[in-house]
Structure 1
Amino acid sequence: MNDTAPTTAPRAVDDDAPVPPGRPIRLEPTPPGLWRVLLGVVVALLAPFFGILIGSGIGSAEGGNRMDPLYWGFFIGGLIGALGLVAAGLGAMALIRHARAKGYAEDAEAH
């Protein structure tokens, strides 16, 4: 019968041993503009929430005027969110340009 107990002796590792055959790994970089789209969308979604959070953390004066810090925080958060949307739009344009250029290059290779 075979012994099924695990061995406690450490196995020697030979650095010069050949690599066993297997599926090759091919790393591909992310297309240009992808990170701009992702970060722009995250900023566009979270900036107004953080603006409200910061504005409510500052609090308001006893007078109760119309320009409370809550409104200022939301307004500034909205402006930062709009900048995030602009960044996401520019990233999307870069993604589209890259996809078109890649498609044209593949068509040229096929003909």
Structure 2
Amino acid sequence: MAARREMLDQALSIGRRELGFLADGDVFEAEKLAKDRERILDEAINDLDRAHLEQLSDKLVEMRSLQNDITDEARKLHSSLKQDLLSMRKQNKRIAGYSFGAGNMPRLARQRFINKKS
């Protein structure tokens, strides 16, 4: 049982590092740590009966709290990325409008001149 408690401590440590990487915006490193954390958690709680799970409940509750923090940070990062993409889309539309207004010749030529071949 001590070995499983130690594994849960290790998973908590990895989870805290993962949260730090997410806060810094490094999703690739956070993903690697998330996979390691998942593997360790699976090993730690695999084949445990209810009595043994209750003995580890303090660590499991702490892990759940950390998971909620990780999820919140990931949602913030997702929202920030979504805002950046929307801003970029608006900027691209604005730049395309400047291009047309500045006399982008190939585009204006098709609209102003008649094609003699048709």
Q: TM-score, normalised by structure 2?
A: 0.41
Higher relative contact order (CA 8 A, sep 6+): 1
